[in-house]
Amino acid sequence: MAENKDYINRRRFMKNSFCGTFAAGIGGIAAVLLAKASKADTVWQIDPYKCVACGNCATYCVLEESAVKCVHAYAMCGYCNICTGYLEPTATNVDTGAENELCPTGAIKRSFIEDPYYEYTIDEELCIGCGKCVKGCVAFGNGSLFLQVRHDRCLNCNECSIAAACPSGAYVRVPADKPYILKGADHS
Amino acid sequence: MMNRLSYILILGICLLITCSQLQAAERFPPPEFENHVLPETTVPAPHQDIYEYIDVAVLFAALCLASYLVLKKRNRRYIFALMIFSLIYFGFWRKGCVCSIGALQNVALSLFDSNYAIPIGVLLFFLLPLIFTLFFGRMFCAAVCPLGAIQDVFLLKPIPVPRWLENALRLFAYVYLAVAILFAITGSAFIICRYDPFISLFRLSGSLNMLVLGGCVLLIGVFIGRPYCRFICPYGVILRQLSRVSRQQVTITPDDCIKCRLCEDACPFGAITRPTHQWPQTDYSMNKKRLAFFIVLLPVLVLLCGWAGNALSGSASRVHVTVRLAERIYAEDAGDVKDTTDASLAFRATGKPVKELYSEADVIREKFALDGCLLGAFLGLVIGIKLIGSTIQWHREDYQADRAGCVACGRCFQYCPREHDRLKKLNEHSK
């Protein structure tokens, strides 16, 4: 390869012009996209007003244990004794018996506040995000239970596999500095 | 920008108020406790943006280091060490997301969808390897890409792939690139991410199918060097073209080649080209005829593939969720199916007119038809140019690293006897 570096032959001229074209192309794409690129990252979230609690969140997440959990907007809750988010429709007794509970993992804790009110809190360690309680609560209660992507767990995949399987288009990308869509947020 | 933001905010607040009023027709009015304080709904924060910038910084540093190791240090061991670092950092530590290969789709979507703003970190992940490739060759493939690294680690018993088979299989990468861009710009899916064979291994979770697929690719990779990089990777297709015209290139040895062919045996990726000899007159005139034929064939191929892309776009559009939903609703309304799906029930619950859904689906189908046609034509062009290229002989005197195919793994440095000689002299000189 003892060619003179300064000597321009046809092949080198072609190469240089292609190189320039590619560089210009990359520069062009960079300029166009940098102009509209967002500084803030986005994260996945469920719009609770669109969610139909189909149960896909529990199974489609790439994590072994889904990043989606049930959360509770306490200000909206009726604190009912007979809670349709907590109890099986066929429950024989209104108590904490496992056979009466709707939640498959017993993740909802029921505690007595004052007559006749009970508070329902969610143990996120146990919750699998199946949305059974959400369905019950939305159908017959105030709809204070809803599903949210928990960002301490979510890997924020480029394409969320739950979003791809969501039947109601409830998954949206939201700005990372406002990462939750909470129900009844104006109450608090 | 500010205006639009405040508009969205006000709209959001209005929406929240109306929704809360809907909810305020609560079936069971929330009690007002005197002594009990309502618990707060916890909102764990997402990972800080800072991690993304650290990732970009590490990517940049790794690319710089890779270029130095490949072009100046010329040592396979150091390159391998950097590769392992990238595999651990980008693969197992950062869980393989975001990667430059997948970022391709974000860039495509951002170019065609004015509503999608690409995060700056993702954009840099796409651009940095391209820029480095334009200057130094495929340094990203050499030691930075975790997908390449995991395959390189598993490459134990390489067997050569015949040149014609390699050329044919490589077409798949172009098809994959075209299909990925088609689905990305229509907002249907990010298939590169969905069918990333190694991401399940990096995360040690995910669906069984993907784990098995990743295992299979690695198993093939034991015998065939980097099968994903060579025959599937859509980003590699772009890097190949840039590497062809890069300012600097990987050389097997800066010294004179003695044509021992050891490097050719050492390269597991078939990326070393042999010296050419003068074609006999009969071959020459036959190739001239073939060249003329392929040049005439080129527009035919472009048109044919464009037409095929258009014809296939109908079934491809079903990947888009709106099109699928519209077809389902149509089938239900026409009585073709008796049952319902979650999606169709959810759609009917929104009370949106069916006509609106159908027209949305039609817009997407039209988009698919046009883009499918264009991308089909692109594939036709690629095939045509490849055929034309097969009839042209480039003059080479030495064994050389193929500019496009070389992933700069550094194996040939180890095998070249001239390189051993050169290094020995260098060492003595430094002593």
State whether B246 and B338 are in the same domain: no
Whether residue B83 has pLDDT greater than 90? yes
State whether B102 and B238 are in the same domain: yes
List pLDDT tens digits, range B178-190: 999 999 999 999 9
Site of tokens 């010296």: B275
Write the DSSP assignment of B396-424 as a string of letters: -SS-EE-TTT-----HHHHH-HHHHHHHH
Q: So what's the pLDDT on residue B423?
A: 87
Interface test with A, best of B23, B136, B339 (most A CBs within 10 A): B23
CA angle, residues B270, B272, B278, in degrees to nearest 5: 115
Q: So what's the pLDDT on residue A188?
A: 38
Chain B residues closer than 8 Å to A79 by CB: 28, 30-31
Q: So what's the pLDDT on residue B272?
A: 92
- Overall domain count for chain B: 2
State whether B348 and B380 are in the same domain: yes
Q: Which residue of A has its CA nearest to B17?
A: A186
Interface test with A, best of B34, B43, B128 (most A CBs within 10 A): B43
Nearest to A167 among B13, B120, B343 (CB): B343
Strands A145-149, A117-122: parallel, antiparallel or unpaired by DSSP?
unpaired
State whether B234 and B360 are in the same domain: no
Q: How far is A97 from chain B (nearest CA, A)?
A: 24
Tell me the average pLDDT across B320-333: 95
Q: Is residue B309 part of a domain?
A: yes
The interface residues of chain B toward chain A in range 330-369, judged by CB-CB distance below 8 A, are 341-343, 345-347, 349
Whether residue A89 has pLDDT greater than 70? yes
Q: So what's the pLDDT on residue A11?
A: 81
SS3 A87: strand
Tokens of A142: 């105030």
Whether residue B1 has pLDDT greater than 80? no
Number of H helices, E strands in chain A: 4, 6
State whether B174 and B216 are in the same domain: yes
State whether B77 and B185 are in the same domain: yes
If pLDDT is split at 50, 70 and 90, which confidence band does A64 have?
confident
Nearest to B28 among A142, A164, A185 (CB): A142
Q: How far is A64 from chain B (nearest CA, A)?
A: 6
State whether B410 and B345 are in the same domain: no
Q: So what's the pLDDT on residue A10?
A: 85
- Residues of chain A with pLDDT > 70, as a percent, come to 94
Are residues A75 and B38, on separate chains, in Cβ contact within 8 Å? yes
Q: So what's the pLDDT on residue A186?
A: 52
Q: How far is B306 from chain A (nearest CA, A)?
A: 24
List pLDDT tens digits, range B328-367: 999 999 999 999 999 999 999 999 999 999 999 999 999 9
If pLDDT is split at 50, 70 and 90, which confidence band does A74 have?
very high
Q: Which of B10-19, B32-41, B299-308 has the highest mean pLDDT?
A: B299-308
Tell me the average pLDDT across B310-318: 94
Are residues A78 and B194, on separate chains, in Cβ contact within 8 Å? no
Whether residue B318 has pLDDT greater than 90? yes
State whether B241 and B314 are in the same domain: no
Give the integer Cα–Cα distance in Å for B347 and B326.
10
State whether B294 and B382 are in the same domain: yes
CB B98: neighbour CB atoms within 10 A?
A: 25
Q: Where are chain A's structural domains?
A: 42-187
Q: Is residue B159 part of a domain?
A: yes
B93 CB-near residues (< 8 Å, 6+ apart): none
Tokens of B377: 């034509």
Kindly state the helix (H) or strand (E) to which residue A176 belongs, with its residue range: none
Q: So what's the pLDDT on residue B3?
A: 56
Among A90-99, A155-164, B35-44, B199-208, which is the least confidently predicted range? A90-99
Contact B130, B100 (CB under 8 A): no
State whether B150 and B172 are in the same domain: yes
CB B299: neighbour CB atoms within 10 A?
A: 13
Whether residue B19 has pLDDT greater than 80? no
Are residues B36 and A152, on separate chains, in Cβ contact within 8 Å? no
Q: So what's the pLDDT on residue A4?
A: 55
Whether residue B20 has pLDDT greater than 70? no
Q: How many CB pairs under 8 A join A and B?
A: 179
- Mark out the alpha helices in B155-246 (DSSP H runs): 163-185, 191-194, 199-203, 208-223, 227, 234-244
- Could you say which DSSP state residue B92 is in? I
Contact B70, B246 (CB under 8 A): no
Are residues B19 and A150, on separate chains, in Cβ contact within 8 Å? no
Q: So what's the pLDDT on residue B18?
A: 46
CB of B31 within 8 Å of a chain A CB? The answer is yes
Q: So what's the pLDDT on residue A114?
A: 87
Query: A181 vs A95, which has greater pLDDT?
Result: A181
Residue ranges making up the domain that contains B240: 51-250+260-276+399-430
Tell me the average pLDDT across B223-230: 95
Peptide bond into B250 cis (omega under 30): no
- Residues of chain B with pLDDT > 70, as a percent, come to 94
State whether B63 and B140 are in the same domain: yes
Q: Is the dihedral of CA B363, B367, B372, B374 positive or negative?
A: positive
State whether B198 and B98 are in the same domain: yes
Interface test with B, best of A159, A177, A188 (most B CBs within 10 A): A159
Cβ burial of B187 (10 Å; 0-12, 13-18, 19+) is middle
The yes/no answer to whether this complex scores an ipTM above 0.90 is no
Give the integer Cα–Cα distance in Å for A10 and A23.
20
Helix H, strand E, coil C: the string for B378-393 is HHHHHHHHHHHHHCCC
Q: Which residue of A has its CA nearest to B210?
A: A62
pTM (2 decimals)? 0.89
